[in-house]
């Protein structure tokens, strides 16, 4: 028991208002207050003396158990959601909850992995090690059409991206935009990827899974959209700022974009694929001392989502092949303001920088 002399001023004020003993049938002026109730933040619990307090203990103590249970419940609800408790996060970003897999109407043409139980692109695996495909005019036009539709889907997502909006909501918009254009969202079920686009925030390099984390002011967001239309894929992505970002973020994204444009300018028949990485790395190092992520590359794309050639973005790479008219491939420089090394999260998709950087 705690006497009124050792109570806080708030409790003294309560007692000065002639609180009465809560023991049933007593009604005497209260002089004491239950110390356990004080610790648990329970209001009231006044007694006139130790005799009344001890006499009421068997019934009174029940409110302690109830209060502790409520406090524990509140404490648990305040803990951040973490589906990967054994994964070491390099930065401040944490995953959110992933919604259920979205469905695609049966009438929409889909790639072979769409309905595979493990999401395996059998046609891609059969073409591993093959020469770079030269697309004829009809095939080139099919890729252009798919890419234009993918751009429209991407624009829908970017228009909605702002503080407070979740990346899962952006995924929903991309998914519905693709369906409305008679397209299959290519990432969905590709090696069991659970969503229709990739959303990579801050230290996440690529393959971020859309979830219920709201975007925050100052975030850097990359949205990567690919759609499959009439048997061909169109793949593109864009990085944007959410709200106001710092000058360092602006420089990082600007230099990355400039490196992409310089790489595109060099592309023509007869150029070695390994030259692309040389151009990109030279620019990002000269204009900010940034690092180039080495684990992920650009790739060939047409009727297959990922195929030859492999297009590294760093210098002194060993990319095989020479550009020819009719080749179709992506260039996707991933640039870091810190280290280039990366690590993959527990589910095997989300790729983040190992250092605290973007």
CB within 8 Å of 112: residues ≥ 6 apart: 121, 122, 123
Structure tokens that stand for 47 in this block: 């007694």
Q: Are strands 184-185 and 198-201 parallel, antiparallel or unpaired?
A: unpaired
- Of the candidates 28, 86, 21, 102, the one whose C-alpha atom is nearest the C-alpha of residue 54 is 21
**How far is residue 76's CA from residue 57's CA, in Å, rounded to a whole number?**
29
Identify whether 217 is preceded by a cis peptide bond (ω within 30 of 0).
no
Residue 73 class from Cβ within 10 Å (0-12 exposed, 13-18 middle, 19+ buried)? exposed
Angle subtended by helix axes 167-180 and 137-160, to nearest 10: 140
Report whether 219 belongs to an annotated binding site. no
Report whether 342 belongs to an annotated binding site. no
CA 339-203-160 angle, 5° bins = 145
Rounded to 5, what percent of the chain is helix, strand, coil?
35, 15, 50
Report whether 313 belongs to an annotated binding site. no
Site of tokens 């002194």: 316
Structure tokens that stand for 278 in this block: 């040389």
* Eight-state DSSP code of residue 31: -
Report whether 306 belongs to an annotated binding site. yes
Q: What is the DSSP string of 121-169?
A: -HHHHHTTTPPPPPP-HHHHHHHHHHHHHHHHHHHHHHHH--TT-BHHH
Report whether 224 belongs to an annotated binding site. yes
**How far is residue 135's CA from residue 329's CA, in Å, rounded to a whole number?**
11
Report whether 88 belongs to an annotated binding site. no
For residue 322, the SS3 value is strand
**How far is residue 46's CA from residue 165's CA, in Å, rounded to a whole number?**
49
Residue set of the binding site for Zn(2+): 224, 235, 299, 332
Residue set of the binding site: 207, 224, 235, 299, 306, 332
Residue set of the binding site for a protein: 207, 306
């Amino acid at each position: 028991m705690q006497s009124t002399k050792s109570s806080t001023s708030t409790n003294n004020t309560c007692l000065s208002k002639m609180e009465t003993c809560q023991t049933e049938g007593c009604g005497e002026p209260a002089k004491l207050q239950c110390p356990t109730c004080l610790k648990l933040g329970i209001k009231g619990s006044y007694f006139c003396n130790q005799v009344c307090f001890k006499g009421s203990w068997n019934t009174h103590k029940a409110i302690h158990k109830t209060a502790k249970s409520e406090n524990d419940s509140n404490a648990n609800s305040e803990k951040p959601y973490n589906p990967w408790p054994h994964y070491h996060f390099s930065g401040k970003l944490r995953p959110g909850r992933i919604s259920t897999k979205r469905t695609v109407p049966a009438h929409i043409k889909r790639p072979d992995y769409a309905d595979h139980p493990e999401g395996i692109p059998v046609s891609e695996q059969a073409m591993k090690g093959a020469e770079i495909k030269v697309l004829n005019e009809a095939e080139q036009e099919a890729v252009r059409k798919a890419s234009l539709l993918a751009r429209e889907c991407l624009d829908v997502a970017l228009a909605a991206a702002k503080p407070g909006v979740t990346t899962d909501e952006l995924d929903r918009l991309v998914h519905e935009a693709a369906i409305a254009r008679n397209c299959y969202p290519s990432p969905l079920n590709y090696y069991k990827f659970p969503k229709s686009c990739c959303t990579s925030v801050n230290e996440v390099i690529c393959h971020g899974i859309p979830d219920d984390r709201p975007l925050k002011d100052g975030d850097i967001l990359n949205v990567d959209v690919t759609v499959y239309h009439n048997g061909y894929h169109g793949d593109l992505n864009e990085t944007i700022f959410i709200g106001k970002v710092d000058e360092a973020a602006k420089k990082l994204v600007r230099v990355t974009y400039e490196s992409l444009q310089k790489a595109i300018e060099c592309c023509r028949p007869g150029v070695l694929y390994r030259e692309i990485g040389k151009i990109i790395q030279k620019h990002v190092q000269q204009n900010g001392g940034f690092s180039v992520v080495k684990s992920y590359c650009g790739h060939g794309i047409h009727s297959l989502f990922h195929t030859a050639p492999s297009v590294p973005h760093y210098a002194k790479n060993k990319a095989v092949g020479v550009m020819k008219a009719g080749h179709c491939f992506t260039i996707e420089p991933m640039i870091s303001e810190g280290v280039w090394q990366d690590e993959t999260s527990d589910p095997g998709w989300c790729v983040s920088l190992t250092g605290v950087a973007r």
